[in-house]
Amino acid sequence: MNQDKYLIKYYKNNNPVTERIAIKKKIITRTLILIICSIVFFVMLTFSDASKFKGEISLIDTLIPLKIIMMISSIIGLIGIISLLVSLVSRNHFNHFFTKIPFKIKRSIFVLLDWFSILPICVVITFFCFSYLFIITPVSGDSMIPNISNGEHVFVSYNKEIQRGSVVILEVNQNDNFHIDETSHYIKRIIGLPGDKVKWINNKLYINDEEYNESYFPKDYFGTAATNNFDGLFRYIDENGNEQMTEIIPEGYYFVMGDNRPISKDSRSIGLIPKRNIIGVATYHMNFIIPRGKIK
């Protein structure tokens, strides 16, 4: 390095005016990042469905550390804003105090600030995904055997279209079913759509009086095992809160069943499921977050 380049570099690194300008820019940009991310996070937390955590199935244990990170971000951002205001109101005193801080300490602080400012961005992106796009949730129970086992994880999309055969995560609560004691969450398969008639007799599914081939089961899976027959009379709670009985699924409701028909608690016992209670469609199932394949 020649002498001119060395002097230019030395001047840039040691000129207090240049240093103050660079530091002030860093304070402003990092402070804005922290404040904006914090505002976006808490707005999403307030108004998105994830603020209710879709019941108990979402990453509820993850919310507390996310809140802590964003609270720290807010505090650091406010400290940064206050520091900037103080520097504008009492510039001489602030600059005098700031120049007394050793350069290595200031550099370490801003390196940490650079790295920490990435965290709120990651938190906001993650929370946005879990609020509006998808969740990954564990399966508890054996009602979806042989296709999904207890302890596996499923990737659930909020925006995927509900079709016959879709595996869905749903909520059942006392407002929509008088025969349960508390709000519960299930993973079931969509069997009946609005306008359908459905029967389950002697291990055979009938939709609109025709036998329906459930290709997602192994051949002769049920064999001679006894299952809970369903004669086609649906029970549901209408918009006025009254219990109704019907043989045709009304608009806005679905008939669901678990794949493990002998033990599954589903629409045969809990009634039809309102569309508003369907949280999302499970598109992939995984074993401890290791991709296993599409839902059959």
Provide the pLDDT for residue 292. Answer: 63
Name residue, tokens 């001679």: 224
For residue range 205-227, list pLDDT tens digits in order: 999 999 999 888 887 776 555 66
Task: Identify which has the larger pLDDT, 181 or 233.
Answer: 233
Task: Identify which has the larger pLDDT, 104 or 141.
Answer: 141
Mean pLDDT, rounded, of the chain? 79
Q: Does residue 90 have an active-site annotation?
A: no
Question: In which element (H, E) is residue 292 found?
Answer: strand 290-294
* Marked catalytic residue, from 143, 166, 264, 267: 143
168 pLDDT band, cuts 50/70/90, is: very high
Checking if the pLDDT of 27 tops 90, the result is no
293 pLDDT band, cuts 50/70/90, is: low
96 pLDDT band, cuts 50/70/90, is: low
Q: Report the predicted TM-score, pTM, of the whole model to 2 decimal places.
A: 0.74
Q: CA triplet 212, 219, 266: central angle to 5 degrees?
A: 55
Architecture of the CATH domain 135-294: Ribbon (2.10)
Name residue, tokens 């790295």: 115
Radius of gyration of the chain (CA): 29
* Marked catalytic residue, from 38, 74, 166, 188: 188
For residue range 54-87, list pLDDT tens digits in order: 444 445 455 677 778 888 888 888 877 777 777 7
Least confident of 53-62, 108-117, 155-164: 53-62
Enter the DSSP assignment of 207.
E
The residues pairing with 278 across neighbouring beta strands, listed in sequence order, are: 170
Q: Does residue 188 have an active-site annotation?
A: yes
For residue range 169-209, list pLDDT tens digits in order: 998 888 877 677 777 889 999 999 999 999 999 888 999 99
For residue range 235-280, list pLDDT tens digits in order: 998 888 888 999 999 999 999 999 998 889 999 989 999 999 999 9
